[in-house]
Amino acid sequence: MKKVININFQGRILPIEEFAYEILKKYIDSLRDYFKNEEGCDEIINDIECRIAELCDDRLKKGAPCITEVDMNLIITSIGRPADFEAQDGFEASSSSNTYSTEDTMGGNYYDNEYSDKQQSKKLYRDEHNKVLGGVCSGIANYFNLDPLLVRILWIFLIGVNILGYLILWIAVPSTSVKEVGGVRKRLFRDIENKLIGGVSSGLAKYFSIQVWIVRILFLIPFIRFVVNFRHLHLWQFWDSPHFPNLLDITFSPGAVFVYIVLWLVLPEAKTSADKLEMVGEKVDLNSIKNTIQGDLEGFGTRAKSWGSAQRSARREARSARRDERSNRRNENMDENTTNNRSDNKGCFHFVGNIITILIKAFVYFILGIIIISVLAALFGLGVAGTSLLPLRKFILEDGVQNWYVIGAIILFIWVPVIGIVTAVVRKLAGFKKANLLIRSSFWALWILGWVCIFLFFSSLTKSFSKHNTPVEKTIALTNAKLNFLTVTSEPKMKYYEDHWFDLTPFEKYTDEDTFYVRNLRIRITQSKTDSFEVKIIKLSNGSTKEEANRLANNINFDITQKDSVLFLDRGIGINKGDKFRNQHVIMTIAVPIGKRIKISKKGWQQINMNVNGHGIRTERIGDIGFGNDSWDGEWNNSFDDESFSYNRGVEYLMTASGLEKIGRMDLDNEVGKDEDTSDIEQQLKDLKEERQKLEGDLKKSRSEKMKELEKIDRALEQKSNDQKDKKAVTNNTSVMPNLNNVSKVANKFGDLQWVMERFAY
């Protein structure tokens, strides 16, 4: 079964088999390539086309129903192929060795000759027939059997527009006139049949014979990076620890999206069967075209059976492809120049329109990709947060049904869609079919169940928090209320562990085995009516009933101890498993008399955060999450009621009649920290001093030893010289004298050295 199409070719209507038409098109392209530089190229092509049309007509007149590929091959053989022109450039006597004229008339493929040609002579030529500038890139492409377009793109991207290199090759490499025209090589196409966005990835995959999803993942990595790097999207506020995004910090190329768009614009679509074959690099011969078309038809059959939007879009594609083909065919009616021009113009507009649509599409897909990845990231973050917070649930949740709600919410509302989206995306990328209806609908059902869970959970939790206690103000008696300067600081009471295996469980640092510390404390500063400091505490809590709230507020254990002028506060409010967290918090009011000074230390809060998390400001927030109230850390300088004054931590204030007045600067290091530092330095100093003393002792010892030695030598010298004098022996004198000199020199030097060392020690 073969498809026959009608073409208007040089003023004749020819019924022609589709394969034969492909062959004809290829052939004319190859001729056009060959005669490109010939004067009167169009005329020659036109004449040849006329002749082909005439020959076809003859065949039809003889009774053939249509032009078959065999007919077309015979006609082409009789007219000759570019390779034949080049080889013989003329006619030949029948007596001479005839290499080709009848060789492949029977359905053979006319690329065979050229293909074997190319295999024989592997030389680097510039390809004059496919050139943009000098044909260097296409020459290289021919040499390596690549698509010239690929080489050009690589040339620009990798080497840059290396003009010098190009010029050198241009000059150095000889040009070829005909060698590879229309030869078999792979060409890059966009694979519109397997497209996801523009078909670029699948085209590339076909070209390099790799799986599509590999290419897609490579293009996707920058997307992921883009999202991950967008800190200000606040998607990572739970998990903005540096460990997490770094896992994805694989640089493929930040410009991959850009590359994709460029490729999309540049690569032609694989429209015809011949294109599709070229895309995978198969030899374009009749059998392979036949196979592909059969495959296409079968594929269409299965597609027709499938339902839904996929099919509709496929139809739309097919329709537009057909329309394109038709317009192409119109282009090929070179007979009528006017229509030709018109369609050229149209093609130009079409091209510009194409670019715009492609850019818009690319943008939309880019945004879509970012949204999907963001949602995924947010869900993933929430999921990890929720899961890692699960061990803490006994501090918050009532026993029983609430536990199930929260577990259900985390699994169904968060993890189920994460898994669903990931699988859907992976399936889409890998080009699998959509999951079946049952799986998809059960995913949706589970997610809806997740919504139910989350709703039930929050409603029951709100109920647990619904009532307030009756606030009771309690005055703390100060041992010495009349002092001039009061410092408020915190006492380390709570355990924390620095060697955590993973940084994703921030709350664990504030937990003992059965106690969980929250740092819900608000310190107000007001003006005292008397001349002494007054400290008052209000304990607040929520609960499901008023009684419960009151009980919880009474249970708050918050100690304040005074040591001279320093007020030490507990580091947090302990919450045990029995009591649960019901937003217990403490408001402490310090009334400062006029003319007295106060300072709320920064110490403790910041230090804890620095020590424990070590990530600076960003992670400082971790302590707040879920506990909406003012917390121990962070700066807040807005007064929250009429009576109290705003202040900054770590700054000394003087209470005046009109309010708080700043004295001195804010000390960035807290005072106790400084103490620690100085004690450290003192320790070091002490160590140094000890060392010095030891060294000095050593020196003295060695010095005295050396001195003794010197004396000994001196004595020996004297003795010797005396002996010598006595014996009147002059002969040995000369040899001994330098030795003596040396010894004294060494002694001098040693003295110097000692002096230097002493200086150094001081």
Partner 1 sequence: MDIQNTQSQMRKGVLEFCILSIIQQGEVYPSDIVEKMKLANLHILEGTLYPLLTRLKNAGLLNYRWVESISGPPRKYFVMTDEGNAAYAVLLKTWNEMADAVQLITNNTNNINTLKADQAL
User: Is residue 12 at the binding interface for partner 1, with CB under 8 A as the rule?
Assistant: yes
Q: Which residues of 301-326 are buried (b: 16+ CB within 10 A; e: fewer)?
A: eeeeeeeeeeeeebeeeeeeeeeeee
Interface with partner 1 (CB under 8 A), residue total 35
User: Is residue 11 at the binding interface for partner 1, with CB under 8 A as the rule?
Assistant: yes
Lookup result for tokens 């290499």 = 99
Cβ at position 60, least distance to partner 1 in Å: 10
Instruction: State the DSSP code for 583.
Output: -
User: Is residue 38 at the binding interface for partner 1, with CB under 8 A as the rule?
Assistant: yes
**Residue 76 or 416: which CB sits closer to partner 1?**
76
Helix (H, G, I), strand (E, B) or coil at 476: strand
Structure-block tokens of residue 756: 């230097």
Cβ at position 133, least distance to partner 1 in Å: 27
Q: Which one among 1, 63, 89, 436 touches partner 1, defined by CB under 8 A?
A: 89
**Residue 80 or 108: which CB sits closer to partner 1?**
80
Q: Which one among 3, 6, 29, 54 touches partner 1, defined by CB under 8 A?
A: 54
Cβ at position 10, least distance to partner 1 in Å: 7
Cβ at position 46, least distance to partner 1 in Å: 9
Cβ at position 267, least distance to partner 1 in Å: 32
Structure-block tokens of residue 406: 């929260």
Q: Number of C-alpha atoms within 13 angstroms, CB side, residue 554?
A: 7
User: Is residue 196 at the binding interface for partner 1, with CB under 8 A as the rule?
Assistant: no
**Residue 43 or 531: which CB sits closer to partner 1?**
43
User: Is residue 91 at the binding interface for partner 1, with CB under 8 A as the rule?
Assistant: yes
User: Is residue 336 at the binding interface for partner 1, with CB under 8 A as the rule?
Assistant: no
Q: Which one among 65, 95, 247, 730 touches partner 1, defined by CB under 8 A?
A: 95
Cβ at position 31, least distance to partner 1 in Å: 7
Distance CA 533, CA 482 (A): 6
Hey, which residues does 731 pair with through a beta bridge? none
Select from 594, 592, 606 the least CA-distant residue to 486. 592
Q: Which residues of 186-202 are buried (b: 16+ CB within 10 A; e: fewer)?
A: bbbbbbbbebebbbbbb
**Residue 92 or 711: which CB sits closer to partner 1?**
92
User: Is residue 499 at the binding interface for partner 1, with CB under 8 A as the rule?
Assistant: no
Q: Which one among 63, 65, 96, 400 touches partner 1, defined by CB under 8 A?
A: 96
Distance CA 151, CA 140 (A): 7
Q: Which one among 4, 5, 50, 740 touches partner 1, defined by CB under 8 A?
A: 50
Lookup result for tokens 């499901």 = 544
Cβ at position 185, least distance to partner 1 in Å: 23
User: Is residue 121 at the binding interface for partner 1, with CB under 8 A as the rule?
Assistant: no
Structure-block tokens of residue 196: 């996801």
Q: Which one among 88, 333, 527, 724 touches partner 1, defined by CB under 8 A?
A: 88
User: Is residue 338 at the binding interface for partner 1, with CB under 8 A as the rule?
Assistant: no
* 8 Å CB contact between 487 and 597: no
Helix (H, G, I), strand (E, B) or coil at 467: strand
Cβ at position 48, least distance to partner 1 in Å: 5
The footprint of partner 1 on residues 16-35 (CB under 8 A) is 31, 35
Euclidean distance between the first and the last CA atom of the chain, given in angstroms as a whole number: 107
Cβ at position 95, least distance to partner 1 in Å: 7
User: Exposed, middle or buried: residue 206 (CB in 10 Å: 0-12, 13-18, 19+)?
Assistant: buried
Instruction: State the DSSP code for 409.
Output: I
User: Is residue 551 at the binding interface for partner 1, with CB under 8 A as the rule?
Assistant: no
**Residue 44 or 476: which CB sits closer to partner 1?**
44
Cβ at position 226, least distance to partner 1 in Å: 55
Hey, which residues does 193 pair with through a beta bridge? none
User: Is residue 93 at the binding interface for partner 1, with CB under 8 A as the rule?
Assistant: yes
Cβ at position 81, least distance to partner 1 in Å: 7
Distance CA 456, CA 406 (A): 9
**Residue 38 or 298: which CB sits closer to partner 1?**
38
Q: Which one among 29, 92, 298, 324 touches partner 1, defined by CB under 8 A?
A: 92
Distance CA 403, CA 416 (A): 18
User: Is residue 160 at the binding interface for partner 1, with CB under 8 A as the rule?
Assistant: no
Cβ at position 40, least distance to partner 1 in Å: 5
User: Is residue 74 at the binding interface for partner 1, with CB under 8 A as the rule?
Assistant: no
User: Is residue 301 at the binding interface for partner 1, with CB under 8 A as the rule?
Assistant: no
* 8 Å CB contact between 184 and 115: yes
- DSSP-derived secondary structure for 186-249: ----B-GGG-SSSSHHHHHHHHHT--HHHHHHHHHHHHHHHHHH-GGG-TTTTT--THHHHTT-
User: Is residue 470 at the binding interface for partner 1, with CB under 8 A as the rule?
Assistant: no
Cβ at position 68, least distance to partner 1 in Å: 20
Helix (H, G, I), strand (E, B) or coil at 511: strand
What residue type is 193 in one-letter code?
E
User: Is residue 68 at the binding interface for partner 1, with CB under 8 A as the rule?
Assistant: no
The footprint of partner 1 on residues 579-638 (CB under 8 A) is none
Q: Which one among 59, 81, 225, 599 touches partner 1, defined by CB under 8 A?
A: 81
User: Is residue 337 at the binding interface for partner 1, with CB under 8 A as the rule?
Assistant: no
Q: Pick the piece of the chain touching partner 1 (CB under 8 A) from 8-16, 337-345, 478-486, 544-552.
A: 8-16
The footprint of partner 1 on residues 676-715 (CB under 8 A) is none
Element (H, E) at 403: helix 401-408
* 8 Å CB contact between 330 and 343: yes
User: Is residue 62 at the binding interface for partner 1, with CB under 8 A as the rule?
Assistant: no
Q: Pick the piece of the chain touching partner 1 (CB under 8 A) from 90-98, 227-235, 373-381, 534-542.
A: 90-98
Q: Which one among 4, 5, 101, 262 touches partner 1, defined by CB under 8 A?
A: 101
CA distance to 42, 419, 452, per residue, from 440 (Å): 59, 12, 19
**Residue 13 or 163: which CB sits closer to partner 1?**
13
Distance CA 39, CA 62 (A): 36
Cβ at position 44, least distance to partner 1 in Å: 5
Cβ at position 178, least distance to partner 1 in Å: 12
Select from 602, 606, 609, 607 the least CA-distant residue to 647. 602
CA distance to 210, 414, 574, 683, 727, per residue, from 571 (Å): 60, 34, 9, 29, 94
Distance CA 535, CA 539 (A): 13
Structure-block tokens of residue 534: 């007054």
- Provide the binding-site residues for partner 1, judged by CB under 8 A: 10-12, 31, 35, 38-40, 43-44, 47-48, 50-51, 53-54, 57, 61, 78-82, 84-85, 88-96, 101
